[in-house]
A = this chain, B = another copy of it.
Amino acid sequence: MARQPNILFIMADQLRADYLGCYGHPTIRTPNLDRLAADGTRFTRAYAQAPVCGGSRMSFYTGRYAYSHGAAYNNYPLRLDEWTIGDYLRPQGYRVALVGKTHMEADLAGFRRLGIDPGSGPGLLARECGFEPFERDDGLHPDQVVDPNLAYNRWLNGKGYPGANPWHDYANSVEGPDGEVLSGWYMRNSHLPARVAEAHSETAYMTDRAMEFITEAGETPWCLHLSYIKPHWPYVAPAPYHAMYGHNAIQPANRTAAEAEAANPVVRAFMAHEESLNFARDEVRERVIPAYMGLTTQLDDHLGRLFAFLQERGIDDNTIIVFTSDHGDYLGDHWLGEKDLFHEESVRIPLIVRDPRPRADGGRGRAADAFAEAIDLAPSFLDWAGGEARPERLEGRSLAPLLAGQAPSDWRDAVFSDSCFAQRPARITLGLDVADARAFMVRTERWKYVHFEKHPPLLHDLGNDPAEQHDLGRDPGHEAVRAEMRGLLFDWLRRRRLRTTIGDALIARKTGNAKERGYLFGVW
């Protein structure tokens, strides 16, 4: 049997698909990811299952839609009995580890209820979303919540950056003209360099830690989730990346006055959020986007370093590299900031997969436009590791045939994403109960439809309006399309995998055999 491949599962945070060179950005420099795409398969239509960190990541890790796993928003604890990547790969002999962010919130009440120690053994793995926490760092450490043992902070201390929270004071702060410390939380400071040396930045540190893990793992097949925090806010890049891109390198915002004028009430409420109002100002975009681009190029440079490391160690030909992001960032497009809604800028994600083995030669260098979903990764990993499919839990589908350049005739013709925005101020503006602050997206080849509970839907004709500037959600001429899209959502909801504890195969074996088991009901 051939050796099982290692899986290097790299995630950027809040990185839009269209901010990579290989995805068509005209000015950004991402040569290493471009090379990865040239040597693998680049998915042009890959979607996050929730346009927010927590919900999206839990979908990546469980292989299940946000609706199904329930942890649809940040810090909604993941149910204890949701299986994650580690549950699928460990029985195949893999070491499954994390360096970086998961945004996993453990269901501590659930641990107490079942008498499980969340600090060791299976409890620790469940608490850490199935990953051995080689380095867990969710990357957002306000002074109020900073963990005194945060490894990155202690490491920075050792490098000569003092204080309880050098993550904030150095890695995510800058200096004003008079040497005063300015927090990177404020976007007005995004044009200045971070107070750490580049080699001490989060991106550099996490890359180093990944290499340490790979060295330590040795011959055991491994799956490493290398989960970078950047280019997520605080939008602060270390020199020289802070100044790598000028105003002329940024793209015009995708927004029109008519769009703001005619906005759906839910979108309008998001347009009134602080981040949206700020990103509506050119001044903000001109400060933040260069930093965002610089952070992305920095990430790419470190990936180059990491890819070279794999080569040097002679394991690049048996390591499948996956690069993706948890969701995008509006950056002022559609008069919005952040994410949470379902425009392409928010819900579409980069997805590049390089399987070095000959079986994937057919897809090498190709741009695949088949619909991919974040939930496809876990079943792909299981497939690569040689495990049996688990359709009673995994709602995605292995990407292996697409990587081989095949086009399975029964591949999906729609993608789905859903979101809970109950914690966002828009819920209050809209007067919604928590349970009503939900949205469901379906996109097909031509249409994107977003259902809201108490407000009219959104409908975009991606065929004629790829920039999504014209909402047909209330257009009388499109009721038939909307009905069809509601039908797709209805079909999708009925088919969620909530019977997780018994597989189809076992049920099929038991069909009609009650009598053999001794239960003679209905017999004369």
Choose from B68, B87, B274, B423 the contact partner of A498 (Cβ within 8 Å): B68
**Nearest Cβ on chain B to A220's Cβ, whole angstroms:** 21
Residue of chain B at shortest CB distance from A275 = B522
**Nearest Cβ on chain B to A346's Cβ, whole angstroms:** 14
Q: Which B residues touch A493, using CB under 8 A?
A: 490, 493-494
Choose from B80, B520, B524 the contact partner of A284 (Cβ within 8 Å): B524
CA distance A71 to B495 in the complex (A): 15
Find out whether the CB atom of B504 lies under 8 angstroms from the CB atom of A144. no
- Given the contacts A70-B501, A113-B122, A501-B70, A80 and B81 also touching, CB distance less than 8 Å: yes
Q: Which B residues touch A148, using CB under 8 A?
A: none
Q: Which B residues touch A69, using CB under 8 A?
A: 498
> Which residues 499-522 in A have Cβ within 8 Å of B in the complex?
499-502, 504, 507-508, 510-512, 514, 517-522
Find out whether the CB atom of A337 lies under 8 angstroms from the CB atom of B145. no
Choose from B72, B142, B451 the contact partner of A499 (Cβ within 8 Å): B72
A422 near B: Cβ within 8 Å? Answer: yes
Find out whether the CB atom of B81 lies under 8 angstroms from the CB atom of A511. no
- Given the contacts A76-B499, A433-B504, A502-B76, A278 and B115 also touching, CB distance less than 8 Å: no
A440 near B: Cβ within 8 Å? Answer: yes
Find out whether the CB atom of B122 lies under 8 angstroms from the CB atom of A115. yes
Find out whether the CB atom of B338 lies under 8 angstroms from the CB atom of A70. no
Choose from B71, B279, B490, B522 the contact partner of A338 (Cβ within 8 Å): B522
A1 near B: Cβ within 8 Å? Answer: no
- Given the contacts A140-B519, A142-B519, A499-B70, A425 and B494 also touching, CB distance less than 8 Å: no
Find out whether the CB atom of B490 lies under 8 angstroms from the CB atom of A522. no
**Nearest Cβ on chain B to A367's Cβ, whole angstroms:** 32
The complex is assembled from copies of this chain, and their number is 2
Choose from B123, B274, B422, B440 the contact partner of A508 (Cβ within 8 Å): B422
> Which residues 253-303 in A have Cβ within 8 Å of B in the complex?
273-276, 278-279, 281, 284
Find out whether the CB atom of A144 lies under 8 angstroms from the CB atom of B81. no
Residue of chain B at shortest CB distance from A391 = B435
Find out whether the CB atom of A524 lies under 8 angstroms from the CB atom of B486. no
Find out whether the CB atom of A504 lies under 8 angstroms from the CB atom of B434. yes
Choose from B68, B233, B423, B428 the contact partner of A507 (Cβ within 8 Å): B423
Q: Which B residues touch A420, using CB under 8 A?
A: 499
> Which residues 375-429 in A have Cβ within 8 Å of B in the complex?
391, 420, 422-425, 427-428
Residue of chain B at shortest CB distance from A440 = B494
Find out whether the CB atom of B422 lies under 8 angstroms from the CB atom of A507. yes
Find out whether the CB atom of A512 lies under 8 angstroms from the CB atom of B424. yes
CA distance A427 to B508 in the complex (A): 9
Q: Which B residues touch A499, using CB under 8 A?
A: 70-72, 76, 420
Binds B, one of A29-37, A94-102, A184-192, A240-248: A184-192
CA distance A339 to B497 in the complex (A): 24
A250 near B: Cβ within 8 Å? Answer: no
Q: Which B residues touch A107, using CB under 8 A?
A: 81, 501
A445 near B: Cβ within 8 Å? Answer: no
Find out whether the CB atom of B510 lies under 8 angstroms from the CB atom of A423. yes
A315 near B: Cβ within 8 Å? Answer: no
**Nearest Cβ on chain B to A95's Cβ, whole angstroms:** 17
Q: Which B residues touch A489, using CB under 8 A?
A: 490, 494
Find out whether the CB atom of A521 lies under 8 angstroms from the CB atom of B233. yes
CA distance A271 to B520 in the complex (A): 17
**Nearest Cβ on chain B to A376's Cβ, whole angstroms:** 18
Find out whether the CB atom of B423 lies under 8 angstroms from the CB atom of A511. yes
CA distance A494 to B77 in the complex (A): 20
A453 near B: Cβ within 8 Å? Answer: yes
Choose from B126, B188, B514 the contact partner of A114 (Cβ within 8 Å): B126
Render A65-84 as a binary contact track against B, CB cut-off 8 A, 1 for contact: 00111111001111111010
A365 near B: Cβ within 8 Å? Answer: no
CA distance A121 to B110 in the complex (A): 15
Choose from B67, B423, B518 the contact partner of A144 (Cβ within 8 Å): B518
CA distance A197 to B40 in the complex (A): 76
User: Given A81-B81, A422-B508, 15 other A-B contacts at CB below 8 A?
Assistant: A68-B498, A69-B498, A78-B501, A79-B500, A80-B114, A81-B113, A115-B123, A186-B520, A187-B524, A188-B524, A278-B524, A420-B499, A423-B507, A423-B511, A486-B490
Question: Can you report 21 A-B residue pairs in the complex whose CB atoms are below 8 A from each other?
Answer: A69-B498, A76-B501, A79-B79, A79-B500, A81-B114, A107-B501, A109-B501, A116-B116, A143-B518, A145-B517, A185-B520, A274-B522, A275-B521, A278-B524, A281-B524, A338-B522, A434-B507, A434-B508, A435-B504, A453-B494, A490-B490
